[in-house]
Amino acid sequence: MTGRGVLRAARAVLFLLSLALAAPGADAAQAAPQTLEFDIAHEGGIVGHHRISFRQDGDRLVVHSELEIEVEVLFLTVYRYQQTREEVWRNGQLIALAATADDDGTPHDIEGMAGPNGELEMSSGKDRWTLPPGSVPASFWNVSMVTQKGPLVDSLTGRILSGRVVNLGPETVRAGGRDIVATHYRLEGKRSRDIWYDAGGRWVKMRAVGRDGSIAEWMLK
């Protein structure tokens, strides 16, 4: 091979290498996360299911959540909860949020859209309020709710939560049918929640305290 041929080959290798180095970042930015499906356990039995699906729509990530819980005692339903929620994200920023829920007969219906400065203009019926830029809904799938500094928003009421997040460190948990190491966070508040994320930031487990003090656990299928 001549000197010019070697130079052309070297340039081609460098060009292909630059594409290979750039491609993963671009693909990762566009790739939607995998669907999350949880069984919800309470006092030894499965009482509900939670499914979160993701869809890439151009530069937007659309997140759809379906949650159902039904607790029975002696074949009688003593508690029922249903929620449907949709979030729209662009470049890591929440630009739209809508949720409808039935909390044992009490309805909740909220929606919000991003304003010109990144704030969220929220509404529920005739009520109107504004959430500051950088607000993150406490919808658990998004690890940024425990890692970033923005205010946390209750995904049921659309109001800012007052509890703080505590990092309790790595633990081995059962998720997806195997033991994995995950980071344990606690969202403190009136009814604390313990949440676990794996090394990739995927939500893999949650433990929640109910109104009666009993424990429910979200277990990744």
How do residues 38-95 score in pLDDT, each as one tens digit? 999 998 899 999 999 999 999 999 999 999 999 888 888 888 999 999 999 999 899 9
| Cα 60 from Cα 16, distance rounded (Å) | 29
10 Å Cβ neighbour count for 11? 10
Q: In this structure, which long-range contacts are made by residues 28-32, counting pairs with CB atoms below 8 Å and at least 24 apart in sequence? A: 30/56, 31/56, 32/56, 32/61
Q: At 176, list the tokens.
A: 């997806």
Among 119-128, 197-206, 212-221, name the one with the lowest average pLDDT: 212-221
pLDDT in the model for residue 43: 87
Q: In this structure, which long-range contacts are made by residues 68-72, counting pairs with CB atoms below 8 Å and at least 24 apart in sequence? A: 69/40, 69/216, 71/42, 71/47, 72/47
Give the length of the chain.
Answer: 221
| Residue 217 contacts residue 196 (beta carbons within 8 Å) | no
How sure is the predictor about 20, in pLDDT bands with cuts at 50, 70 and 90?
Answer: very low
| Residue 109 contacts residue 99 (beta carbons within 8 Å) | yes
pLDDT in the model for residue 9: 43
Q: At 4, list the tokens.
A: 């010019």
Domain presence at residue 6: no
| Residue 57 contacts residue 40 (beta carbons within 8 Å) | no
Domain presence at residue 12: no
pLDDT in the model for residue 162: 84
Q: Which residue has the higher pLDDT, 147 or 29?
A: 147
Domain presence at residue 48: yes
Domain presence at residue 1: no
| Cα 18 from Cα 148, distance rounded (Å) | 31
Domain presence at residue 126: yes
How sure is the predictor about 2, in pLDDT bands with cuts at 50, 70 and 90?
Answer: low
Answer left, alpha or beta for residue 95, where phi above 0 means left and psi between -120 and 50 means alpha.
alpha
- What ranges make up the beta strands (E) of 104-151? 106-114, 120-124, 127-131, 136-137
**Domains in the chain: how many in total?**
1
Q: Which tens digit of pLDDT belongs to each residue from 167-208?
A: 999 999 999 999 999 999 999 877 789 999 999 999 999 999
Domain presence at residue 18: no
pLDDT in the model for residue 10: 38
Residue whose C-alpha is closest to residue 145's, from 190, 195, 86: 195
Domain presence at residue 2: no
pLDDT at 17 over 50: no
Domain presence at residue 22: no
* Residue 51 structural domain: 32-220
pLDDT at 27 over 50: no
